[in-house]
Amino acid sequence: MAVFFKVFSLSNLNFMLQGVGMLLAVASVSIVLSLLLGTLLGTVKAYGPNVPRAAVSVYIEVFRTTPNLLWILIIYFLVPFGSGLSPMQKDFSAGVLAFTLFTSAVVAEIVRGGLNSIPTGQFEGAQSQGFTLVQTLRYIVLPQALRVSVPALLSQVITVVKDTSLLAAVNIAELTVNGRIVIGQFSGDGAALLLVYGFMALVYFSICFSLSIVVRRMQKRRPSGRPGKWEKEPQAA
């Protein structure tokens, strides 16, 4: 019991929660950025002209076949981040850049899958109403495609949260790194090790598990979302 209070002393707890903060910051910023970039890339891959489409395909293949850890190392060691940044800012930008790069490749594939599930009639209908291609995508096709993709995108969010632990490879102060520093205070104490690793597991688990419950609930619902009015009418008649 004494070990418990030593491990979870206020300063240790604060230190590990700082790690959680870094984890959440990197994960959320890179998820937002990769949603934007990935949607753009996915749209180009689905409908773009030949040359950009080929370029996007190469991008997706490269990130799909190589490990994320490799990209974290590449970004951290090879990208010059300028000397104006503090070490903390540099770590954060490196993490966000690496995660945005490989997550947007995955998002692009998911969005492309969603776009392919939209019937061509939607395009023809929009065109007949005088929409341009960009307008059609913006108002008609993308909203439907993104709605279909939400469960897959959320699963990807879970993966991003878990993968932030890889940032430990370059000692970016997220939860895993800070937890291991705390462990350093208790060399060889099995109970302390178990407590700290248990705490880390619990944090990751509670974030990811709550997201996975949402995913499962969504997968059970109709893939297209709420049934529209016109879908209900024939049943009533």
Residues in contact with other proteins by CB under 8 A are 61-62, 64-70, 73-74, 77-78, 158, 162-163, 165-166, 168-169, 176, 183, 188-190, 193-194, 197, 200-201, 204-205, 208-209, 212
The C-alpha atoms of residue 189 and residue 183 are separated, in whole angstroms, by 9
Nearer to other proteins, 36 or 54 (CB): 54
| Residue spans of beta strands (DSSP E) within the chain | none
| AA letter at 191 | A
62, HSE (Cβ side, Cα atoms, 13 Å)? 11
Long-range Cβ contact pairs of 139-142 (< 8 A, separation 24 or more): 141/115, 142/39, 142/43, 142/115
Nearer to other proteins, 116 or 132 (CB): 116
CB of 131 to other proteins, least distance (A): 28
Nearer to other proteins, 127 or 169 (CB): 169
| AA letter at 51 | V
Nearer to other proteins, 136 or 178 (CB): 178
The C-alpha atoms of residue 214 and residue 197 are separated, in whole angstroms, by 26
CB of 115 to other proteins, least distance (A): 15
CB of 184 to other proteins, least distance (A): 12
Nearer to other proteins, 144 or 165 (CB): 165
Q: What is the DSSP letter of 61?
A: H
CB of 218 to other proteins, least distance (A): 15
CB of 74 to other proteins, least distance (A): 5
Nearer to other proteins, 140 or 168 (CB): 168
Q: Which of 156, 155, 154, 161 is nearest to 206 (CA)?
A: 161
CB of 156 to other proteins, least distance (A): 12
For residue 117 the two structure tokens come to: 């599930």
Q: Decide: 43 and 116 in contact? Cβ < 8 Å.
A: no
